[in-house]
Structure 1
Amino acid sequence: MSPEKLGQNPQTADTVLVHYTGTLENGEQFDSSIDREPLEFVIGTEQVIKGFEEGVKSLVIGETNTIRLEPEDAYGEWTEALLLKTPAEPLPPGMGVGAKLQLQNGQIVVIYEITDEHITLDANHELAGEVLIFELTLVDINP
């Protein structure tokens, strides 16, 4: 615990430790740090989504708050522009619509559609277009 930071909000360049639970509007949990170490990141370095960082910046050590992020403050809207068509090639067994693939550049995509002529891959983030709800607890601030 950083006694000099008690009662203060995190500032740009501070390293913060945050416990969080992320859920969708329907209550489905998609991620949580509760059963592991808190998330550590540096304020102002775009290591986390914009709305998450803004929510953390409003907290003091030990405080918990729930925030609601619209898609534009999270992973953006789902867009057809991120659908990629490639010539149809044989897929490994068990790979079909909805399966995840990693491209040569490391990007994760989802098989969106398969026809005789092409395979369409979805490069949108899996949480694109979703409203995200986070319960955040600021554990510590290290200047």
Structure 2
Amino acid sequence: MKIEKNRVVRFHYTVSEPGQPAIETSKEREPLAILIGHGAIIPGLEAAMMDHAAGDSFETVVEADQAYGQRRDEFTQRVPKKHFREARLRPGQEVMLNTAMGPRPVTVLKVGATVVDVDLNHPMAGKALQFQVEIVDVREAEPVEIEHGHVHGEGGAQH
């Protein structure tokens, strides 16, 4: 079965910047399970998966505009210190900031007495990413998965 919209795909991946060591891999844990066509992964990786099938392995480079976007120097914000769980914040530190739209990775720029200046760009913004992908399996999505926009059961939501 080939990968296309509204199919569930379980896959392993290793990601790096081209020519650099791996940043992250799923090889030591369960495969990632996603519902294709519902924004679960970066657009360039999802596009590269299309028409592949279980058992396929491939490598692809995803340019920044199809990954985490271009860096925007003006994409900074001053946030009250009380919104951070970490007791000791320091410039350059990557932390999760809870926002109205869910957790968001940010980089600390400057720490003041009561506020913290953060860079809201994703840490991988502006970077091309090289992926090594192994498709483990592909199946039709259940109607409830399509309705909810995510995978249920093994590798997905358990509700």
The verdict on a shared fold, with TM-score over 0.5 as the criterion, is: yes
Over the residues paired in the alignment, what is the CA RMSD in angstroms? 2.4
Counterpart pick for 2:93 among 80, 89, 99: 99
Contact kept, 8 Å, 1:21 with 1:31, in 2: the verdict is yes
How big is each residue's C-alpha offset from its partner over 1:97-136, in whole Å with a ceiling of 9 and x where there is no partner? 01234334132321113578x7421011011011100001
Alignment partner for residue 18 of structure 1, among 1, 8, 11?
11
1:40-59 correspondence to structure 2 within 5 Å: 40-59=33-52
CA offset digits 1:7-47 (Å, max 9, x no partner): xx211100001111101124121111111111100110011
Q: Which moved more, 1:119-128 or 1:37-46?
A: 119-128
User: Superposition pairs for residues 1-143 of structure 1, below 5 Å?
Assistant: 5=1, 9-86=2-79, 94-105=88-99, 106-114=103-111, 119-143=116-140
Unmatched 5+ stretches in structure 1 = none
Detail structure 1 runs of 4+ shifted over 6 Å in the superposition: none
Q: Kindly tell me: are residues 18 and 88 of structure 1, through their superposed partners in 2, closer, same or farther at Cα, counting changes over 3 Å?
A: closer
Greater Rg over alpha carbons, structure: 1
The share of aligned pairs that are identical, in percent, is 24
Structure 1 counterpart of 2:40, one-letter code: Q
- TM-score, with structure 2 as normaliser: 0.74
* Contact kept? 1:59, 1:65, Cα under 8 Å: no
Distance 1:82 1:142 in 2: 39
Normalising to structure 1: TM-score of the pair? 0.81
The residue type equivalent to 1:38 in the other structure is P
**Structure 2: segments with no counterpart, 5+ residues:** 141-159
Alignment-mate amino acid for residue 26 of structure 2: S
The 3 A distance-change label for structure 1 pair 14 and 94 is: same
Tell whether the 8 Å contact from 2:92 to 2:109 is kept in structure 1 after alignment.
Answer: yes
Whole-angstrom CA distance in 2 between matches of 1:42 and 1:87:
36
1:77-96: CA deviation from partner (whole Å, max 9, x where unpaired): 1112311135799x976421
* Cα pair distance change 1:87/1:62, threshold 3 Å: closer
* Equivalent residue pairs, number: 135
